[in-house]
Amino acid sequence: MTRRTLMAAGSMGLALVAAPRALARRADSHRERVEDLIARMTLQEKAGQLTLFNDPFRWRPGNVNPGDFDTDQEKTAQQIRDGHVGALFNGIGAEQARYAQRLALEESRLGIPMLFAADIIHGLRTTFPVPLGEAASWDLDLAERTARAAAAEGGASGIHQTYAPMVDVARDQRWGRVVEGAGEDVLLNKLFAAARTRGFQGDDLADPLSLLATPKHFAAYGAAEAGLDYNTTDMSEQTLRGVHLPPFQSAFEAGALCTMSAFNDLNGVPTSGNHWLLTEVLRDEWGFTGFVVSDYTSERELIAHGFAEDDRDAARIALTAGVDMSMQSGIYLAHIPDLVESGDVAMEVLDRAVRRVLMTKAALGLFDNPYRGADPEVERRVVGSPAHRDLAREAGRKSVVLLKNENKLLPLPKAGKRIALIGPFGADRSNVFGPWSIFADREMGVTFEEGFRAALTDASLLTVVKGSDVEAPLDGGIEAAVAAARDADVVVLAVGESHNMSAEAQSRVNIVLPAPQQALAEAVAAVGKPVVVLLKTGRALELSGAVKDAGAIMVTWFLGSEEGAAAADVIFGDHAPIGRLPISFSHYSGQQPYYYSRKATGRPELPEESEYKARFRETSNTALYPFGHGLGYAPVSYGEIVLGSETLPWDGELTASVSVTNTGDRPVDEVVQLYVRDRVASLTQPERLLKAFQRVTLAPGETVEAAFTLTRQDLLFIGRDMAPTVEPGWFDLWLAPNAQGGPHTQFRLVR
């Protein structure tokens, strides 16, 4: 047996990168120019700089927002010439970017460059796994690299800004937008927010292949009541500051110079009209210097919220609160001049917003190099490059999570066994990319069938049967599937959600497999062959019946362009699964919102007593598959935790380590997770909270000691006075394979 020792930074969540100073320096050099422009701009031109419309000039996807996109090119061209629009979004293509930019530079009075933005969420033409799937890799370097590649494709297509990363903490799996972020945990969201921001923005925001990052949706959008998209959020300020705001802070500390105000109201005030949030917290407390863009018409939606009387009132409230740029509604353009002339909005308030937008354009290098990366030749070379496809395959295989693997059913052999690939996603290309892959190259997607055929030594052993549509039965589908299962040695069931069942406005009442697919699974399982489930999903699902009872379950999310190849890499054992769940799988939909870091309550569920406890009649509070769970192809055993001392001195450090051993015969990756619980505090604390993690790779038989260093900083919570605080006393500590169980000990923080 070999032995290695690895040390991990204890306070990983706190080790944030300072905002790149180069950005600030470049912007400073443009300050004079910006002030000169502001002095010369008319009110209409100022309102124009704060106005963002959809891009009618370039190739664009089907609409991803309500209402029609304006396709009138001449109208927009004239608005650019008149200085009535300063930014366009959701069109790509270098050639046409040059055209629109030239209009602004050469035909508008002041020649202020346009800003081009797009929803580049998990890749552009090359698509990487959906953000939730990629978060399952727990691999920050990977997230940074895929964001970098997405930025390169975007930059080469004449884009300057992406509306990503989504950093909303999501604890209710009914909410469709869970798929767009890093899941339920604060630390994971903070780390992915920073990594993705670094990836998009690179070392230099003015690099033509960098994109301005837009952490969204500010703020607490993921806490929508009942998981219903756009719904009200209402929470204590401690929860807001302790759970929902930290990922934003993390992205800003990594250099993000834009954020998007959200659709929801928060404690009675819509976030897109929330002065406290957008100005007092964001600017005055945190010192954010970028600009705030509204989410699509969210500033006009102040009217529907019952918070503004009409468009003019909504524009006044939003601008004064701190929304600098209005997306698509046009109400800034229509009403700002009059609001200022009538004295309802101070010129100073308007100038402040214009300054933020212009200074961000300066930071992007647009005043020096307005065409930036928009070069059709570069576009051809960068977009969909072989290197990006390789990265998509790597990211895909690192994102799958193996939930269950009875009797070593996986990996499957490449020869000698007849495989029936059954289900709506076996041969389907349209769902490999996942939601928010609006610019994906649809030709590029590799299906499960294609990936399997390429991996198998004898592809004639593979039979593919659809069996059912995603949400409707197929005539004769079950019969054909059952026949294929009878003829096979093993069944692979590719079932789950289609891409349009999650993401925006796709909240679900029951987070279950659609009934026709469940019926298919039951019929196929009844044949009696071993069943491997490939679960395509954008959220945690309630698993039941034949799907829950399958011999092996692998969550594939939506893996992107290389989905089938990446899945085959893992299924046939060329690579071991290494993913870990960034969300908990509850037993039932009715348990939502469900997350591991819940509070204990005064009547916590205890194994020895079940009466009068905070639990549902039907199930215990434990997860079916907990946050952090994921198997490799070899078992790993944990030793006892070894603490450097029983006490953590106030200004000192505490080391905690555990040895992990690969007891199997294949290499394995283990993600050792450090959780704590503050036993007694002046405010109740979660039952466990992730504080650090460390990946170790173990050869068969190898033992590695995973060591962590904790300081007082790791034990902070938001106190009654809203400031981060830490209190002396006893803490529980786990070094565990997931958020449920694992070796436990305790230590005392002493002052």
- Binding residues (CB under 6 A) for ligand NOJ: these are 64-65, 119, 163, 216, 295-296, 504
Q: How many CB atoms lie within 10 A of CB 148?
A: 19
Q: How far apart are the C-alpha atoms of 623 and 340, rounded to whole Å?
A: 55
Compute CA distances 599 → 686, 731, 739, whole Å: 4, 15, 14
Q: Residue 389 carries which side chain, given as an amino acid letter?
A: R
Which C-beta is closer to ligand NOJ: that of 216 or that of 389? Answer: 216
For 542, phi and psi rounded to 5 degrees? Answer: -80, 120
**Cis-peptide, bond into residue 165, ω within 30° of zero:** yes
User: What separation in angstroms does the CA of 415 have from each of 337, 418, 486, 528?
Assistant: 72, 8, 18, 21
**Min dist. Cβ of residue 65 to ligand NOJ (A):** 5
Q: Please, what is the minimum distance in Å from the beta carbon of residue 198 to ligand NOJ?
A: 20
CA–CA dist 627, 581 (Å, integer) = 5
**Closer residue to ligand NOJ, CB minimum distance, 64 or 722:** 64
3-state helix/strand/coil string of 78-128: HHHHHCCCCEEECCECHHHHHHHHHHHHHHCCCCCCCEEEECCCCECCCEC
Of the two residues 257 and 552, which places its CB atom closer to ligand NOJ in the complex? 257
Phi first, then psi, for residue 116 (nearest 5°) are -110, 125
Q: How far is the CB of 161 from ligand NOJ (least distance, A)?
A: 11
Contacts of 352 (CB under 8 A, 6+ apart): none
Q: Which is nearer to ligand NOJ, 119 or 497 (CB)?
A: 119
Give the integer Cα–Cα distance in Å for 98 and 379.
Answer: 13
Q: How far is the CB of 716 from ligand NOJ (least distance, A)?
A: 30
CB 708 within 8 A of CB 692: yes
> Smallest gap, in angstroms, from Cβ of residue 205 to ligand NOJ?
19
Output 271 or 738, the one with its CB closest to ligand NOJ.
Answer: 271
Q: Which is nearer to ligand NOJ, 294 or 657 (CB)?
A: 294
| Distance in angstroms (rounded) separating the CA atoms of residues 137 and 502 | 20
Q: How far is CA 221 from CA 91, 130, 167, 245, in A?
A: 26, 19, 10, 11
295 as an active site residue: the answer is yes
224 in Cβ contact with 177 (< 8 Å): no
394 Cβ neighbours under 8 A, 6+ residues apart: 142, 566
Task: Report in angstroms how near the CB of residue 296 gets to ligand NOJ at its nearest.
Answer: 4
Which CB sits closer to ligand NOJ, 221 or 731? Answer: 221
Sheet hosting strand 326-327, strand order edge to edge: 161-162, 115-118, 87-89, 51-54, 326-327
Cβ closer to ligand NOJ: 142 or 224?
224
Minimum Å gap between C-beta 411 and ligand NOJ is 38
Q: Can you say how many angstroms the Cα of residue 507 is from the centroid of all Cα atoms in its chain?
A: 17
DSSP 691: E
* Rounded distance between C-alpha atoms, residue 425 and residue 469, angstroms: 9
Q: Which is nearer to ligand NOJ, 64 or 303 (CB)?
A: 64
Nearest to 325 by CA among 254, 381, 258: 258
For residue 410, which of 283, 553, 507, 298 has the smallest C-alpha distance?
Answer: 553
Q: Which is nearer to ligand NOJ, 9 or 505 (CB)?
A: 505
Strand order in the sheet with 531-536: 401-405, 552-555, 531-536, 490-496, 419-422, 462-465
**In angstroms, what is the minimal distance from the CB of 256 to ligand NOJ?**
14
Question: Is residue 245 classed as helix, strand or coil in its secondary structure?
Answer: coil
Least distance in Å: CB of 51 to ligand NOJ?
15
Query: What is the C-alpha separation between 209 and 194, in angstroms, rounded?
Result: 18
Of 295, 313, 324, 428, the active-site residue reads 295
For the CB of residue 119, give the shortest distance to ligand NOJ in the complex, in Å: 5
Q: Minimal CB distance to ligand NOJ: which residue?
A: 163
Residue the block writes with tokens 């209009």:
103
Catalytic residue annotation: 295
